Amino acid sequence: MVLGILGSGSGSNMQAILDAIADGSLDARIALVLSDNPDAFILERAKRHGIPAGVIDCGGYKTKFPEAAQAETARRLHDAGVELVCLAGFLRLVKQPLLEPFPQRIVNIHPSLLPAFPGLKSWKQALDAGVSETGCTVHYVDAGMDTGPIILQETVPVLAGDTPESLHERIHQAEHRAYPEAIRRVAGAGFFLPQRGASGVGWGRE
């Protein structure tokens, strides 16, 4: 499976995917890495692994993902032969100009057990709420914020004395296991994708 990675930060989840590819547990190839942050370390990771990489021009907007930028991103991914787009710490909301060219072909990893604690700093939300466990979720991306169908989740306990930093670190460790496994499931199912029916989410061919 040919992957495209979008990220805004260090790219540790991309590294976990690369490690799974290297050890033979994930049959995939990363064809392109794009970031909305020209200083993001994910671009350096790509360079070190010989992966084509580039910057997404968002026109100076700090959080908005302009439609023209999304359409250009979709074109670059398509030209690279990307089959599955993986958001790895990408901090902009994806909408139709990118969703339409890759229908049910975009996945994201989120640091909570969705639908609990969507949005930013989910680990801090979990601590503030006083829950006994949180975790991470890999899900298909739709036009909402962290609302797409779930592929898998991994639970992380909230420990006495946890700080936002310590909890976030353990969630990161879970993410590094969960993301390659989720991609394996998508690839192994031959893009059998979740369809919502009368009894909830089941599996069926697109």
Enumerate the active-site residues: 110
166 vs 193: CA distance, rounded Å: 34
Structure tokens at 44: 């350096």
78 vs 14: CA distance, rounded Å: 19
Beta-carbon neighbour count of residue 198 at 10 Å? 5
The residue written with tokens 């290297």 in the block is 22
183 vs 198: CA distance, rounded Å: 27
Structure tokens at 177: 């296991």
Angle, helices 164-188 vs 12-22, to 10°: value is: 40
Beta-carbon neighbour count of residue 188 at 10 Å? 11
Pairing of strands 29-35, 2-7: parallel
162 vs 147: CA distance, rounded Å: 27
Pairing of strands 133-140, 150-157: antiparallel
* β-strand partners of 203: 194
